[in-house]
Structure 1
Amino acid sequence: MATARQSGVSHYLSAHSRNRIQELAEPKKVACANDPRLVWGNQETIRTLSQAIVTAQPSPRIVALAKPKKDFGKNQCRPLFMYSCGRESTIWERLPPVDFGLPSDRLLKLSEPKKYLAAYLQQRPRESPEWPVSPAALMYKASPRILELARPKVLHAEFLLAREVPTPVTNAATLARASSRLQRLAEPRVRKVTDCYELSFPESVIRPVSKSAQKAIASARTLELARAKGLHPDYVPLRGAEWPVTKAAKHAVATPRLVELAQPRKRSPMSLCHFNPDAFTVKEAAKKATCSARIQELARPIKR
């Protein structure tokens, strides 16, 4: 029973809201659109005024507000120009006594610059941006180092100014129009994106070589440009990962000291003991040790 009542209420609300939305969706009617009393282009009112409004008397406050603002500039001097809206300008002509009059004490006081506070003057390193130079500074002779630093930076020895256009283009060339043949030759060649050449020539050669090109003799400059770039005189090729071992090294016997040094350092695993910050400390004797000539020789990097 409750479910049926709720469904009926919801159906009523949805229908009511739908009707309200349709009512609000209708455009608003213009009040004066179809009014026969309205005539466009005249100064008549949209609605006729009642007799009470026509015969009404304004109050003293309305009369006071309706008075235009008084222009105080008319009594002083003649305005220079008028604004477009009919309002007089606030700029007037200068009277002759103004050019020759002396300023009053009030104007002189107002024209004085603002004085600095005493706290600000104490914080400044000097009183003015221009400070007197001592005679010692005026008579000081600069050292050669100061003269060298004061010398402006010169241009590089190989510096070249901007070059002019090597071949000026004539007016005829700028106004020339390319022929159909030139436009056809200027079009880029359309190539298919493939991994193979088009077999338009015999399979033995990619493209034919003319007989004159086959019999041509290269000049000295062409041979020089065709020569491959050589390696540096001090270039040493990389050593291979495997190199032959001498017989003496194969039959060498390690001394007890080398065997002792070759054994790895035994440390207990970190999971079984706490971290020891002093595990990698360097002894004082090791800090003061002096390398032998052999160790310095072995520490020197290999020059390649």
Structure 2
Amino acid sequence: MHKVSRSSKCCPTFDHLPENISCFLPDIYKSWHRLVERHKHMFTKRKRLLKIAQHNRPIKGRFIPQCPCKYKKPIEFVRDVRIRTRTEQLALPAVRRLLLFKETVKDLFEPLRILGINRLIRLSLLSVYSRLTNIQPPQKKVPIHKWDEAEWKKHTKYLKKLAKPKKEPKQPKLPVQRMKLDNMTRFKALALPKTHEEPTKEPWALTPAMKTYEPSENIKKMALPTAHDDSAMIQSLPIPINPTAITYKATKRTKELATAREKGVGESDLKENPFSISPNALKARPTARIKELAEPKEYENTHIRENPFAISPAALKAKASPRIIELAKPKGS
């Protein structure tokens, strides 16, 4: 693709292709042009990465390119820059690979070269990245100790001890906190049934203040009868029935709700004789409390007089007020 010119004094140099190569070698020019276009399109999406990868720091010292053909061995020119710790630690090989390499060559290499491998293993193991990944140094395999007959007997004895059911510890007896007999009188009083004493009513008596009492204007106003409009309550007989109620047809659900509910069968209905008394009820003995509750209470009825049909003289001489006459009339009259 490129024309090469060689000289005895220097390295081979590459010259650019001529512009009219498309006329003389069209097939080669097409393939070369296709490769160039492909190379350009490969880096279209990575322009930013290429820009970031470029070194922008100033290079200390002057770099003088020299032709390597002056020397017998090839010489590689490297920048004389201070190596950083991170770069050194990243350049170290993995510990596992070094260990595998050491196992394969420990019988082939000299002791001095094995020491160099050990040094690399130690540096890689103590690097920052190995510590972050928590890589541990290789450990020697500990041979398993086989038990003898005495140790097996001791172990079986311990297993039998563990196989026994666990014994619950004996709980200590708690001290009985009983109350003294002298202090139990209050509990006996609290255990008795509760009794309610009804206060006695004093007989009604006319006091002198009642004889000279004069009602206030507000009480007189409150004592007046309230005037009600009875026009809305008075209806003509017979009372008219709503026409919709006459032509109403009850639904299935309304008829179902209107039917009387069937009474369930009770326990007394299942017996042959529901009025019979059980033998245990005949033998039962009531306690003193049941007898006390069974006794009827005596109530003093102050509303019943000795002669309830007797009419007082004041009632015979009384004159009905207009309000009493109004209330005594039947409604609708």
Normalising by structure 2, we get a TM-score of 0.13
Kindly indicate whether structure 1 or structure 2 has the higher relative contact order, using CA contacts under 8 Å at least 6 residues apart: 2
The structure number with the bigger radius of gyration is 2
